Amino acid sequence: MTHNVPEDRERTGTVRPPSSVSVMPQRSPRIEIAGLVGRWVLGAVFIYMGLSKALHPEDFLKLVRQYELTTNPIILNSIAAALPWFETFCGVMLVAGIAVRGTALVTVLMLVPFTVVIAKRALALAAALGKPFTSVKFDCGCGNGEVVIWQKLIENGLLVVLACLLVAGFGRKWCARYSLFKEPEMRSPKE
């Protein structure tokens, strides 16, 4: 369905955006570029983290087991088998700019529980060892080997912020298909 904006203006005297056309806020080129870089960074991080685990699934399985989330081998294997590839696909979708907001939301839903679980384990280790939290380090199964945990938590926090910005609508530049169902038309809200 197409709308003729001048005709609408004649009929009603006001300009209302047609229901089938999303009004996309016009952002400065710098913000658009920043959004693009943010999307690519988040996507690249997910591809790297995903592939590094997908290429060594047995190592990842051992690390997942140490979190003691479940004792059911099928669930445990499913997590270790699917999660790395899941992350990789999300990364590819972000880099290519496919279903960006939905993919970014999925990354937030992954990152938040991961971060909580890592923080809980680090707190338990710090308490058991009587060491300060900042000195705790272990291989969290994040794809980088042994890491200092407080740094990892900050890194995850930044990734969550980045993903939330994408959910909010940033990172539309150079997308193969920003939305799976509806391609918003480029239109200024001043029109």
Partner 1 sequence: MLVAVTAGLLAFAANAISNRGLALGRNYFDAQIHDGSGTRSLPAGTNTTPLLGSALQQLVAQGIRLADSNQVTALFHDPRFEQGLVAFIDARDDEHYQAGHIPCAWQFDHIHPENYLSTVLPVCQVAQEVVVYCNGGNCEDSAFTAGFLASAGVSREKISVYVGGITEWSTNRMPIEMGERKSGRVAGAGK
Task: Give me the residues that bind partner 1 (CB under 8 A), please.
Answer: 54-59, 61-62, 65-66, 68, 73-74, 77-78, 80-86, 88-90, 93, 99, 102-103, 105-106, 109, 121, 124-125, 128-129, 138-139, 146, 180
- Comparing CB distances to partner 1, the nearer of 40 and 138 is 138
- Comparing CB distances to partner 1, the nearer of 5 and 124 is 124
Least distance to partner 1 from the beta carbon of 180, Å? 7
- Comparing CB distances to partner 1, the nearer of 37 and 82 is 82
Least distance to partner 1 from the beta carbon of 51, Å? 11
- Comparing CB distances to partner 1, the nearer of 16 and 131 is 131
Least distance to partner 1 from the beta carbon of 63, Å? 9
Least distance to partner 1 from the beta carbon of 7, Å? 36
CA separation for the pair 40, 26 (Å, rounded)? 21
CA separation for the pair 51, 61 (Å, rounded)? 14
CA separation for the pair 80, 55 (Å, rounded)? 11
Cβ–Cβ under 8 Å, residues 159 and 107? yes
The SS3 of residue 98 is: strand
What are the start-end ranges of the H helices in 23-148?
29-54, 57-66, 73-96, 100-129
CA separation for the pair 161, 144 (Å, rounded)? 21
